[in-house]
Every structure is written in structure tokens, then in C-alpha cells.
Amino acid sequence: MEIKKSSIQIWRENHRKEINESQDKMRKTEERNAYMREFRKKNKANKRCTDQKHRWDAKVKVLILVAQGGPIECIKCKIKDKRILQIHHKLGNGERDRKFYYKTNLLVRVQDGKEKVPVEELEIRCCNCNILAEYEELNRRYTNIIGFDDNFDPIWRVMPKKIQPLEPFNCDYCKILYMPRGRKKRKYHFCSRECYRLFMIENGYPDHKNKENGRFEKIS
């Protein structure tokens, strides 16, 4: 369903470049910037109220566009409370949409964004039905879940492996029990560089490795 545009809206679309140039001349002056800074300081409460009303009006406009002349309600539970109604992407590209249009009003994306979002790919859902769709359409976010049991606990396709906790080792020099950084088992274990160096000296090993095989050589 196409929304009929007024003559003034059509004129603005055809003369968008001239309007932007005219407004830039007025906005980019130092006097204008100083006036707006002073105005925001004196009218904080009024500006906050205006911004909130603008965001609410923009949300209602988007709901009207997506409804395409039909009732503004959740397509699942038929609730009509605008406070909890949201826009749901049928194809599951909502995450990509938010990343591409970072800090951009949804109304702009639906009407005349760089990559216009077709209204047919959007639908109205409430908060509960919107988040349930993330679990019902398992090919989107939770790709490793194949279903849910009677207690609504997920049934995983492949159970994640349990990582065994690290086992402490005894230092081969000072005999102190310590927790290693990695899981690789070695011939000798040391709790510090100092214990490693003293052990090598006392057992006749040089302070450096053999350049050919990369191993410590014992002094005969």
C-alpha cells in the first residue's frame, strides 16, 4: 500500500539539495552556534521533552508504515499497546541492519535510506513475541539448538565439552606446589624463572640452548 504524499513533500524531495545548502548557510555561522548553545542551557527541560516527543512520533510513524493501513497490533498475540510494540525483521537481518545504520532513525531506513528496507520484510511484534522468534527461528541466533524440552530448556545439537580444571604441579627446584599457566606437561616444572635458572646451573646445564637442536646440553 503506497502512502499518498502531499505537494509540499514532493517539492521538498525534488529540491533537497537547494534546501540543504540554504540551511547550511544559516547553521554554520558562529552567531547561530552561540545562540543554540545558550538556548540549550536555558531550556534543558523543554529540549528533553521535545526530543522524547520526536522519538515517540517517529516510532508511531514507523508502526503506521509497517502496518500498511491495517491495525497496529502484534501479529501473534494481537496486543495493541504501542509502548511494547517493536519491529521484527522476517529474514533475520535485523542485526546487520542496526550495524549498517548505526545511530540512524528507523524511519529514515524505511522511507529513504541508502539501502531501503522493504516494508514487506518487516512486521509488528510485541517484546515477548519478538524475543521468542529468536528461539523459534533457530537458524538465526542459536544455530546449535535443535529444540526445547517440556521445561523450555534447550536441546543442544552437540554438547560442549567440559574443560577439566588445571592440576597443580610441584616445582622441581623449590618443591612448592603451584598452578601452571598452560596444560602442556613437561619433563621439568618450575614456579618461576629464578628456580628454572638455579636448577639448570646446579645440574650442569649451560645458560643457553644449543642452536642446532634447540635443547639444553648438559656439561660433561
Q: How confident is the model at residue 102 (pLDDT cuts 50, 70, 90)?
A: very low
Confidence (pTM): 0.50
Q: Judge contact between 171 and 189, C-beta under 8 A.
A: yes
- Residue 74 pLDDT: 92
Report pLDDT digits (tens) over 25-35: 777 778 888 88
Q: How confident is the model at residue 63 (pLDDT cuts 50, 70, 90)?
A: confident
Q: Judge contact between 107 and 82, C-beta under 8 A.
A: no
> In terms of C-beta distances under 8 Å and separation of at least 24 residues, what long-range contacts does 104-109 make, across chains too?
105/58, 106/58, 106/59, 106/62, 107/58, 107/61, 107/62, 107/65
